[in-house]
Structures are given as C-alpha cells and as structure tokens.
Amino acid sequence: MSVAFNELRQKADTEWQGLTAGDKPWIRVGLGTSGEAAGAEEAYDALKEALGTEANVSFVGSMGLCYAEPLIDVQIPGGSRVFYNNLGADEAPGVIAAHLKSGRADPDKALAWDGTERPEGLGAIPRLTELPTVEVQTRLATKLAGDIDPREMGQYIANGGYSALDKALGDMDPASVLDEVKNSGLRGRGGAAFPTGVKWGFLAPNPAPVKYVLCNCEEGDPGAFNDKGILESCPHTLLEGLILAGYATNSSNGVIFIRQGHTLPIENSRKAVQDAYAAGLLGQNILGSDFSYDVEVALTGDSYVAGEETALMEAIEGKRSQPRYRPPFPAAAGLWGKPSNINNVKTLSYAPTIIRDGADAFKSVGIESTSGTAILCITGAVNRPGMYEVPMGSLTIREAVENVAGGIRDGKLMKMFQAGGPLFGPIGEEGFDSPIDFDSIAKTTGSLGSGGIIVGDEDVCAVNLVRNLMSFNQFESCGKCFPCRLGMTHMVETLERISQNEGREDDLELMERMGASMRMGSLCGHGQLGYNPVASALKYFEDDFNSHMHDKKCPTGACGEGQMVTPTRTRP
C-alpha cells in the first residue's frame, strides 16, 4: 500500500467506525430515483427534524429494492441493522423514534434485519440475505449500494474502494492490468457484449500523447436504469474503473458522458471527480506514481442515438448527436480526432473487483461464455420491481420473474417479456426458460442488452406494444440517413393502421421489405435493427396480428379509440 493511499485509508476507517460503532445510532435513508419518487427525501427531512442530534441521519444509495422504497435502515452502535420498507414521511419519525427509545424493532413495518444477532421484537422477520430478492444476488458492481453515502468518498475507501487502483499503480504495469481484464473474460455490458480486454487492447498500443477513455451513461433504453443506479449509489466504483481503464490503455483523459436531466447521477459524478482530485486520485502523479490522468463529466441532450459511440463523441464535441462514418474507428481517431475507447458504466464498474481480487475470482462467477454478473432491471407487471445483480446464467427469465420479482400482479399470467431496449421486441412462452446470459437470450431473437427486462401480462397486446416501441424509435431517429428516417415513420404508420383494425393484406410483407432496406442502408444500429421489434412480435404473437388483420378486433382490448400513437417528425 502506498504511503499516500495509507493516509487516505486510515482517515476513512476512523470516520467509518464513528458511524457504525460510535455513540449514536446511524439511520440510513435510501435515495435513488425510485426512492426519490416514493418520497425518500421527505422521509429524510422528517427524520432529521424529529431526531435532531439523537442519531446520525444520512442518505445512502438505493439497494435496488424499488418495491420497498422508501427503504430506511437503523443501525444501533455495534449492533445489527433493521430495514424498514415503504416508510414515508408521515410514519418514519414515529416508527424510528419508538425503535430507538425502546430498543425493539417494529415487526409490522420491518422488511429484514442484518448482523450477528436478531434484534429484539422482530419475530419471524427474515435476515436480509434470506429475502428472495437478495439471496440470489452476487453483488460485485453494486456491492456497496445502500450501505454508503455516494457523496462521501471516505465511506467508499473504508470499504475497500480505490485499493485496486493503489494495487495497480504500485504492483502492476499497464500491460499486466490489461492482461488481467482480458483473462477475466469480462464482456461489455452496454449490449454488444464484446470482450472488454480485447477492446482496450485496440487503444493501448497507440503511442499518441493524448488518448481518451469514455464512459457511456446515456442510458436511454426504456426499462433500464442500472447505469444510473450505479452512479446514484456508488459513483466512485465507476470512477475507479475509469481510472484503471486509463492506466491499462496508457490514456491521458477520461470522460463520463451522462444524459442531461439525470440529476442524481450528474451531481454524484461531479462530486466524485472533485473529491478524487482533492485526494490525489486524479490529476498529476496519482498516489505518487508516474501516472497522470484527468477526468471530466460531459452532458448531452435527450437523444437515444447519442448512446451510439460515434454519436456520443459528436455530442461531447458540441455537435448534433449523429453517428460518424467509419473508418476511421475510434481507437484510431475518436474524440477531438484523438484515439478513444468507449465503455458502458457497468463494464468499467467491474474493473476494480477484477484487479483487487484477480481474474480467476471474477471468472468463478457466471458461466464459461460470460463471466461475472448481470445487473437486471425487472419492471412491468411484476409484484417486486427492482434492480438485481445475479450471476450470469444462474436464473432463467421465468425464475427471475416468479422467484425474484414476485410473479405477475393480480394473479395474472405472464404473456411476454421484452429485453435489450426498444430495438428488440417481445418474446413469448418459448423464451421464458432461457438462461439470463448474452448468448442464450440472443437465440430467442432477443438481447440482454443493458439489462432491462419489461414483463407483460395477459392483458398486453403485442401489436399495441410494438407500435409504441416503434413510435419511440421513430422519434429518436437522428435523421442522418433516410432508410432509418423514413423507414421508421412508414413502419409506425403501418402499425397504427393495423392496431386500428384497418390493416391491408400486404402490410406485413411491406414492413418486412422496409426492414430489409433499413438493415442494408442505415448507418448505425438504430436503423439496422429497426425491424427487430416487429419480427419478434410476429414470431411469438402472430395471433395478435391476425386478430387485428382478419377478425378486426384487438385480442385484449388494449387498442382502440384514444390509443393512437401518431407518427411524429424526426428530431430537429
């Protein structure tokens, strides 16, 4: 351990001990987008006012248990933790104050407990690790989510943070770090699933004095919020990974690219960068080494296509978010014409655990073809929506929905799931037993993508769902190439006609021809994959289309008056 890092660690450990084993209880209020929407901020304010100086009250990140928000936990000094779920501002002060005064937890409001000894009064309330939403998880990138204040760097360091960076700079050269990532089998988590070490290897040999590693947190997929979840809960995990990527590729600069309006990820990332500079973890001669590295946070407007790697670089340069022609490829000429490498938030967030614990430890999680974990965002018609980090290949879609997400609401049947973002369509019963890993889901004509899984029940009409997906894709087309710009518009018009029971005999064949033209003529994946939602829906739910086309009725009643999705012009 370097002298500089040892000083940081000692200070962080002292502060952490003061919170977890000091003379005051520590009350942690989970705050992410889901917590914020459920009233976590109001609950925090109410607790601060009610408890005064009796307890330390802090925001922490979200554990991903969105169904339980606001989630508040109480830690008595040196004792166990009690987690209270769905505790709003009206109830929180009374429940927590009564707990602190009597020393007894409220079993009617408690979700779980954690620690060495069951807190008094909890009865049959399970341990946190016994919850069905927790026991299946292996948390690597989200290990500290819900445990630490994301805006307090010391809490990250006290729990092992930046030890991987210290190890890399002190004991490893850049080539060794790169080899460790290659040997780990890590594949990109942005959707393409390309081997990360190989990708970094494209950039590493380039001798240019200025090189960029870019982190993509545009995250425009409906139903995916794990990139934001990491930045909301533990931005230093991402930042440490970004610095490690810079070291492994001999780069000079890093950029965290976030869609504007994502307030918590933006604020947390900026604070993390600011604190890292102040602590000597960024800038010149990091931790006393010969490695220097600068990082900034860049924002883009609301543009789904800005998530495409070359459009992302255009946006950072202040231009319209449109894909570039290739070659040259980013590793040769990327941001500002300099060699560049683009990675997803989750991909970079695995780097610290790989370097700290070794490639073999990472490979021991998951399956041979895809090591590590999948960070799933399960939403839609389920009882327990949330963000869950599970070993790759350890669960099927059916098991994730029924056992983790609590099954379908109101006792209804699962009809479909949609994964991989809006450029992939609904998948039916035949895909429910597909293991959750990149290659298995790809065999169903779907994609694991960034990890978003939207579940539909028996009341969902596949035609209605697909026309909404295609309307999103049409609006988000950047307009640079006409096969995508016009193809998306015509496809939405055709789907609108079918949904209103006015479909023509050749409409399905027409959309297939449109899709072929888009696939061959579009510059980026947005147009090339544009027909996928329709193709998938026709494969698994042809009966829904036949009902509209031939029986002139919606099989579920979801389509009809007031349900039209009027095609809009492409973004200006």
Mark which of 439, 457, 475 sits at the end of a domain.
457
Give domain status of residue 436, yes or no: yes
C-alpha span between 461 and 464 (Å, rounded): 5
Compute CA distances 223 → 236, 250, 418, whole Å.
Answer: 24, 35, 9
Confidence of residue 569 (pLDDT cuts 50, 70, 90): very low
Reply yes or no on whether the pLDDT at 115 is more than 60. yes
**Burial, 105: exposed, middle or buried (Cβ in 10 Å; 0-12, 13-18, 19+)?**
buried
Domain count, the chain: 4
Confidence of residue 572 (pLDDT cuts 50, 70, 90): very low
Tens digit of pLDDT for each residue in 299-342? Answer: 987 788 888 899 999 999 999 999 999 899 999 999 999 999 99
Q: Nearest 5°: phi and psi at 300? A: -130, 165
C-alpha span between 45 and 93 (Å, rounded): 10
pLDDT of residue 39: 96
Kindly state whether residues 115 and 232 are assigned to the same domain: no
Q: What is the CATH number of the domain that holds 435?
A: 3.10.20.600
pLDDT of residue 571: 44
Token code pair at residue 272: 């993390």
Reply yes or no on whether the pLDDT at 564 is more than 90. no
Of 160-164, 257-261, 435-439, which gets the smallest average pLDDT?
Answer: 257-261
Kindly state whether residues 338 and 405 are assigned to the same domain: no
Q: What one-letter code names the amino acid at 361?
A: A
Give domain status of residue 239, yes or no: yes
Kindly state whether residues 191 and 329 are assigned to the same domain: yes
pLDDT of residue 185: 96
Query: What mean pLDDT is predicted for residues 525-554?
Result: 95
Tens digit of pLDDT for each residue in 412-460? Answer: 999 999 999 999 999 999 999 999 999 999 998 888 988 999 999 999 9
Give domain status of residue 7, yes or no: no
Reply yes or no on whether the pLDDT at 570 is more than 80. no
3-state secondary structure of 455: strand
pLDDT of residue 301: 79
How is residue 404 annotated by DSSP? I
Kindly state whether residues 96 and 27 are assigned to the same domain: yes
Strands 253-259, 294-300: parallel, antiparallel or unpaired by DSSP?
parallel
How is residue 571 annotated by DSSP? P
Q: What is the CATH number of the domain that holds 124?
A: 3.40.30.10
Give domain status of residue 167, yes or no: yes
Query: What mean pLDDT is predicted for residues 176-181?
Result: 98
Mark which of 308, 333, 362 sits at the end of a domain.
362
Confidence of residue 487 (pLDDT cuts 50, 70, 90): very high
Give domain status of residue 147, yes or no: no
Q: Between residues 232 and 219, which one has the greater pLDDT? A: 232
Kindly state whether residues 499 and 442 are assigned to the same domain: no
Reply yes or no on whether the pLDDT at 161 is more than 90. yes
- Percentage of residues of the chain with pLDDT beyond 70: 98
What's the half-sphere exposure (Cβ side, CA atoms, 13 Å) at 292? 5
Give domain status of residue 556, yes or no: no
**Burial, 195: exposed, middle or buried (Cβ in 10 Å; 0-12, 13-18, 19+)?**
middle
pLDDT of residue 302: 79
Confidence of residue 561 (pLDDT cuts 50, 70, 90): low
Kindly state whether residues 114 and 212 are assigned to the same domain: no
Give domain status of residue 532, yes or no: yes
Query: What mean pLDDT is predicted for residues 155-178?
Result: 97
Range(s) of the domain holding residue 23: 15-130
Query: What mean pLDDT is predicted for residues 255-272?
Result: 94
Mark which of 316, 336, 362 sits at the end of a domain.
362
Query: What mean pLDDT is predicted for residues 12-28?
Result: 93
Q: What is the CATH number of the domain that holds 506?
A: 1.20.1440.230
pTM of the model: 0.94
Query: What mean pLDDT is predicted for residues 397-424?
Result: 95
Confidence of residue 567 (pLDDT cuts 50, 70, 90): very low
